[in-house]
Structure 1
């Protein structure tokens, strides 16, 4: 049975005499061995949350509880937590091995235990050949691995990573995000991972906490957060752009239906609300030559290539709609100002119980 390792209740923090609210009533539970990604834009309170949990700052209200014990009056060095910042803070005068061993020596581990733990982490991080090298003589990705190894070395009860991959290019971020999950599973460490990148968050975490202006606006499994964003802010932040206001009514057959500005009907309403929002994934939109089928006439206004798909922007019935067209499925590149016929696979759409 899973047990709560960490319980955060009502954390609140203000600055400038209460004029700047960094966090307002934030709370969540985290099970032992699980990972939580704290997701949101710059300035939303993510780093402040970590600093309050680590004990580096004092909350104005709320409580940090670990294994049932309040930590509010426990100093940072006695909490047994690890915190890794984006700037890494590696020691340039020490080599890779000594950087990893630094915290263990500070905690007065026995020499044999230090050597064993450092060797274990060098192997786990796949940086054994770098052990004797200066940290200034290795790549950015390798430095990230050294910093992570140093944070893991004392076997912290909780490891917190603050934008750890922000300075790396996308390929390295994707590679190291997968590595962090592998390493977390190997070590069994409980993890809080702060990022503004939802792809990183989904790759690393078992749960997602979304912050907006210091408030928690959604908390749940990655799949649920992606499929059912709780607010317009969450939907937009995750990159969902096809959001359409719907009116809900009861049809002649007595079934409640929702219609959006595009004229499509969905025979399942989310609740008794008279309005809702339809989220249409770009991959649910199909384009064919005009008048080839029973679709709705639209005009292509813009086309960009992103990865293996064309991101096609359309103007349809006074609305803007985005479609994803796989390169492999397109005989030619779609062109702006081209009239097309649009059909939507409504089985892929979601109705969300809010309106902007």
Structure 2
């Protein structure tokens, strides 16, 4: 565009900043920011908001704060951007402080504001603040909004209040895949694995297609209940029936399910088929299962894989050493500790 001598305007900059945010391209975003400053666009609310969003997505919270602090005018979208940036970067208390400051400045929260603030509460596992926000949401008339209801289910699930999560879910007039995921995750997180699987079946009965996050929660539920056959079944359902590519977290869940049950042959075969480059976590999971079941030889093989992939990790030394001690192989354990030291 610029090579064709077409001068960018504020819409252009918002679009390319959104692209940088999606790509987590911090350096490119900073270059564009410098151009924005030179061309005197930074003072526009829509540009400032896009910059805050970009810096938040790129894990550069201080830059997001700096842009926000320089803004002469702030609307609800700008406040939402800084609250979201804090929540995304694990500064949840700061996110709630901005939420309170926003209202002190006379800006009324919208559904996005409440959803971002609820995400911060979930991260802090702050039931009291979550309930306070829930009351404000009811007064503001946003309780029926899908985004807000999903965030409420997540908060109550994280805080161990499954009954409240169910209450919000049951009152929803519309549910998307995120709603079902939140409810399934809330059940799995609180040890109600069978109920999580019930919601998964209901989700499909209502015609909502599960995604990778759904199956991660379902596999977690199988892990909590020790349902080996269900774990295998849902993993196959995800890959073969729904055509979803498993991520490392899915493999970890399945390895955990099978490993706890002592199906170590199957686990080792599964780990060897994983095509991901960095398989440290799954080999460590297998090593932990070998320690539980006293399978020293297989544990040594798993540890050797971790040694090659991550030579500086202390975890395989500790796990293997403890396993050798439990097996009465004290000389081998001393030698291993000597290597570790």
> Which structure has the highest helix share of the two?
2
> Which structure has the highest strand share of the two?
1
Normalized against structure 2, the TM-score is what?
0.29
Question: Larger relative CO (CA 8 A, sep 6+): 1 or 2?
Answer: 1
Normalized against structure 1, the TM-score is what?
0.28
